[in-house]
């Protein structure tokens, strides 16, 4: 892989330096490199402090001796400097040019297939309300992680659990029964998920009214919440659902059908898809037998007719897994569903749950229980915990109807893209259909990139205006740079067709003293060189933000290069051909990186 290319050259050379200079052995895995800080000259830096025992000298003499040895014996080390115990190496132009040629001949982001099978679970909505801003971060994160893992060579199964049963679902059903007057998506003009969500809000309004009425009669608020007639009706509906009451089940299937159609329309627009769907109405019966088997093995214990697990030795609490009446809790079905997945997909090596950080404790408990049950794969379970998305107005509340609807937000972002595009007036010759497709692409890029560029673990504030800025740290800025690069390449092909066989000759001429790499060229090539490492880091950490931010740095550097270095106006054919090749490599890397983020890039803007 390209990120190992330079290290493969330097690590043996550093080992040889220690052997020759200090008669000492240094393990290869102890020798690490980092990018040289901008305020110092250099491309890569070695910290020699960990090796002072082997050298028997101070940090600066150690670094100086190693630098002199590398400069004398390693062709690609052009010069060096020492800052305290840090050895900064300047890598020769011929190395960067050789890398670029190799990257042009191969695929700069192509990893070998590893054979590792990974399942990523994300989205997992409830069928009592439409998708909202929080779901957008979940979906974009899960989908991007899936693509990053694919790009890193893994076989990925994208899964979704649909929470289609329970008291919350019955609340929407009961409110529609009471207040809906037969309203349907067709009669109302509302998407099915929005219609059902409307009645979830209506239930909450009615519930609060009844609580207030009961409180005025002298009831405590706690008692009123338990005795309100509408909540008792909802609980009775849930019991009927569990008993397979035909009327309740028919209503449930009808309203869930409305929601599924609404969800699917949103997923299509978001560019998100799934390979496997799990429905809680089917999985909630799983896990009971596994828990009872755990009792036989002595992993769990019975108390007062219920089944418990004691996780206090692991720093967790005791947890009930089966109630005294034999019914399950959420943990029970999660145990059974995890086991089912590894049975359904032979060779599954890792299961990743993309779920908000409010469920951190739940997943720690789940993974601990599965390890106690003796499943070897339990060590490969991972909770990709992410922070919530807040708004300037505060947190969202579904029951009160104060959520930011996903469809509405997407529509707003596309509208902002249209307004910006029309203001710039650069698409006069483009058909209205092409404009519509472009504005959709730009609006979604603004939304996705803004949510993905932040470390998933961090809570964040979404700012629609900042996300669409064509000159800021945004998805549309990256799209614009890509389109600019493609325009340059199209013009270059028309004016200066360059056979690929001539690229090596052009590179060769650029390594002479008279044609050294310019700083702007060097910066772009170094960022391209780091791309595979960024992808590998993103795959290892399950974090798209590293790749997102590196892509921004690349296009920003390319913009500086584009604005300050002549490309098509360069009279020297070798230089011109090289810069065209550099532009092509940048476009290729940008497109692949944005694909990993789930973002499309346009050929023109």
Model confidence over 554-569: pLDDT tens digits?
999 999 999 999 999 9
- The answer to whether residues 331 and 302 belong to one domain is no
Beta carbons within 8 Å of 335's beta carbon, 6+ residues apart: 286, 287, 290, 291, 321, 366, 369, 370, 373
Residues 153 and 171 in one domain: yes
Q: Is the pLDDT of residue 491 over 50?
A: yes
pLDDT of residue 587: 95
Q: How many beta carbons lie within 10 A of that of residue 394, not counting itself? A: 8
Determine whether 71 is exposed, middle or buried from the number of CB atoms within 10 Å of its CB (0-12, 13-18, 19+).
Answer: middle
Q: Tell me the C-alpha distance between 401 and 124, whole Å.
A: 20
Output the domain CATH number for residue 278: 3.40.50.620
Distance in angstroms (rounded) separating the CA atoms of residues 53 and 269? 60
For residue 101, being part of any structural domain is answered with no
Count of H-run helices and E-run strands, the chain: 23, 14
CB of 306 closer than 8 Å to CB of 323: yes
Distance between CA 449 and CA 468 in Å, rounded?
10
For 88, phi then psi, to 5°, come to -100, 125
Please report whether residue 477 resides in a domain. yes
CA 585 to CA 438: how far, in whole Å? Answer: 24
Among residues 82, 14, 79, 87, the alpha carbon closest in space to that of 45 is found at 87
For residue 317, tell me if it sits in a domain: yes
Give the mean model confidence (pLDDT) for residues 418-445: 86
Does the structure show a pLDDT above 80 at 540?
yes
pLDDT band with cut points at 50, 70 and 90 for residue 503: very low
Same domain (yes/no): 567, 462 = yes
pLDDT in tens, 42-66: 999 999 999 999 999 999 999 999 9
Output the CA torsion sign for 68, 73, 79, 81.
negative
Looking at residue 603, the DSSP 8-state letter turns out to be: S
Question: Domain check: are 222 and 341 in the same one?
Answer: yes
The confidence score (pLDDT) of residue 111 equals 60
Q: Could you tell me the strand order of the sheet in which 306-310 lies?
A: 301-303, 306-310, 318-322
pLDDT at 232: 97
Question: Quick one: pLDDT at residue 514?
Answer: 46
- Is there a domain that residue 401 lies in? no
Q: CATH code at 551?
A: 1.10.730.10
Average pLDDT over every residue of 419-444: 85
DSSP letter assigned to residue 211: H
For 42, 75, 505, 516, 590, the CA distances from 35, given in Å and listed in that order, are 8, 19, 29, 21, 21
243: left (phi over 0), alpha (psi -120 to 50) or beta: alpha
Across all residues in the chain, what is the average pLDDT?
91
Share of the chain above pLDDT 90, in %: 79
pLDDT at 393: 60
Residues in the chain: 605
Tell me: pLDDT of 3 over 70. no
The kind and range of the H/E element at 418 are helix 406-424
Give the integer Cα–Cα distance in Å for 136 and 138: 5
Q: What is the pLDDT of residue 402?
A: 55
Task: Please return the burial class of 569, using the count of CB atoms within 10 Å of its CB with bins 0-12, 13-18 and 19+.
Answer: exposed
Dihedral sign, Cα of residue 498, residue 502, residue 503, residue 505: negative
Q: Are residues 156 and 210 in the same domain?
A: yes
Structure tokens at 585: 């490599």
pLDDT at 511 over 50: no
The whole-number pLDDT of residue 413 equals 94
Q: State residue 504's pLDDT score.
A: 42
Q: Is the dihedral of CA 37, 39, 41, 47 positive or negative?
A: negative
Residues 310 and 235 in one domain: no
3-state secondary structure of 200: helix
Task: Tell me: pLDDT of 424 over 90.
Answer: no
pLDDT band of residue 505 (cuts 50, 70, 90) is: very low
- Are the C-beta atoms of residues 324 and 306 closer than 8 Å to each other? yes
**Number of alpha carbons in the 13 Å side-chain half-sphere of residue 597:** 34
pLDDT in tens, 95-105: 998 888 887 77
Q: Are 342 and 284 in contact (CB under 8 A)?
A: no
Same domain, 270 and 319: no
What global pTM score does this model have?
0.91
User: Which residue would you say has higher pLDDT here, 529 or 390?
Assistant: 529
Name the more confident of 485 and 499. 485
Q: Is residue 123 part of a domain?
A: yes
CB atoms within 10 A of CB 84: 12
Whether residue 210 has pLDDT greater than 90: yes
DSSP code per residue over 116-161: -EEEEE----BTTS--BHHHHHHHHHHHHHHHHHHHTT-EEEEEEE
Q: What's the CA gap between 203 and 182, in Å, rounded? A: 16
> Which of residues 76, 91, 106 is at a domain's end?
91
Question: What's the pLDDT at 399?
Answer: 45
- Domain region containing 309: 298-325
Which CATH number characterizes residue 42's domain?
3.30.1360.70
Phi, psi angles (nearest 5°) of residue 369: -65, -45
Q: Is residue 11 part of a domain?
A: yes
The reply to whether 497 and 364 lie within a common domain is no
Residues 418 and 493 in one domain: yes
Summarize the confidence of residues 399-423 as an average pLDDT: 82
Residue 571 token pair: 């009279």
Which residue shows structure tokens 């890029």? 445
DSSP 166: S
Last residue of a domain, one of 325, 340, 365: 325
Tally of domains in the chain: 4
User: What pLDDT, on the 0 to 100 scale, is given for residue 392?
Assistant: 66
The answer as to whether 15 is a domain residue is: yes
| 349 and 436 share one domain | no
The verdict on residue 171 lying in a domain is yes
486 and 557 assigned to the same domain: yes
pLDDT band at 513; cut points 50, 70, 90: very low
Residues 234 and 342 reside in one and the same domain: yes
pLDDT tier at 425, thresholds 50, 70, 90: low
């Amino acid at each position: 892989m390209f990120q190992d290319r330079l290290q493969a050259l330097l690590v043996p050379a550093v080992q040889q330096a220690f052997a020759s200079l200090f008669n000492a052995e240094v393990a290869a895995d102890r020798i690490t490199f980092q990018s040289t800080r901008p305020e110092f000259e250099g491309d890569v830096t070695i910290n020699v402090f960990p090796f002072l025992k082997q050298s028997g000298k101070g940090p600066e003499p150690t670094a100086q001796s190693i630098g002199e040895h590398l400069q004398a014996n390693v062709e690609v080390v052009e010069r060096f400097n020492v800052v305290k115990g840090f050895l900064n190496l300047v890598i020769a132009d011929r190395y960067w040019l050789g890398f670029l040629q190799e990257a042009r001949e191969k695929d700069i982001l192509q990893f070998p297939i590893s054979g590792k099978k990974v399942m990523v679970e994300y989205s997992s909505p409830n069928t009592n309300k439409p998708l909202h801003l929080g779901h957008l971060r979940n979906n974009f994160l899960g989908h991007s992680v899936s693509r990053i893992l694919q790009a890193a060579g893994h076989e990925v199964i994208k899964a979704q659990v649909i929470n289609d049963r329970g008291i919350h679902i019955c609340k929407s059903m009961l409110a529609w029964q009471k207040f809906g007057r037969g309203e349907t998506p067709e009669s109302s003009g509302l998407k099915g998920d929005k219609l059902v969500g409307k009645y979830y809000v209506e239930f909450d309004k009615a519930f609060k009214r009844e609580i207030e009425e009961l409180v005025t009669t002298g009831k405590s608020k706690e008692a009123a919440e338990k005795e309100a007639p509408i909540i008792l009706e909802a609980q009775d509906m849930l019991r009927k659902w569990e008993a397979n009451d035909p009327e309740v089940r028919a209503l449930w299937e009808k309203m869930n059908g409305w929601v599924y159609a609404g969800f699917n329309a949103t997923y299509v627009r978001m560019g998100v898809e799934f390979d496997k769907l799990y429905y809680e109405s089917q999985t909630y019966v799983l896990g009971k037998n596994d828990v009872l088997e755990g009792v036989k093995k002595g992993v769990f214990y019975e108390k007062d007719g219920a089944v418990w697990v004691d996780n206090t030795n692991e720093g967790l609490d005791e947890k009930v897994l089966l109630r005294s009446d034999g019914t399950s809790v959420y943990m029970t079905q999660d145990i059974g569903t995890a086991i089912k997945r590894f049975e359904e997909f032979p060779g599954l090596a890792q299961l990743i749950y993309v779920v908000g950080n409010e469920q951190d404790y739940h997943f720690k408990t789940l993974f601990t229980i599965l390890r106690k049950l003796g499943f070897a794969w339990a060590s490969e379970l991972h909770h990709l915990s992410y922070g919530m998305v807040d708004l300037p107005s505060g947190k969202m509340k579904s029951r009160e109807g104060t959520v930011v609807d996903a469809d509405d937000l997407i529509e707003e972002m596309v509208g902002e893209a249209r307004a910006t595009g029309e203001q710039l007036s650069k698409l006069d010759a483009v058909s209205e259909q092409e404009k519509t497709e472009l504005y959709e692409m730009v609006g979604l890029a603004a939304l996705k990139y803004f949510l993905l560029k932040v470390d998933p673990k961090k809570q964040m504030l979404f700012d629609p205006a900042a996300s669409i800025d064509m000159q800021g740290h945004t998805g549309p800025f990256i799209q614009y740079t890509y389109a600019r690069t493609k325009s340059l390449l199209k013009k270059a092909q028309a004016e200066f067709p360059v056979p690929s066989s001539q690229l090596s000759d052009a590179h060769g001429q650029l390594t002479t003293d008279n044609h050294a790499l310019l700083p702007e060229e060097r910066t772009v090539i170094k960022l391209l060189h780091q791309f595979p490492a960024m992808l590998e880091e993103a795959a290892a950490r399950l974090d798209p933000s590293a790749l997102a931010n590196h892509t921004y740095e690349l296009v920003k550097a390319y913009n500086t290069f584009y604005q300050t270095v002549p490309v098509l106006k360069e009279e020297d054919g070798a230089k011109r051909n090289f810069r065209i090749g550099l532009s092509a490599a940048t476009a290729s890397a940008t497109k692949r990186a944005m694909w990993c983020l789930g973002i499309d890039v346009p050929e023109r803007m």
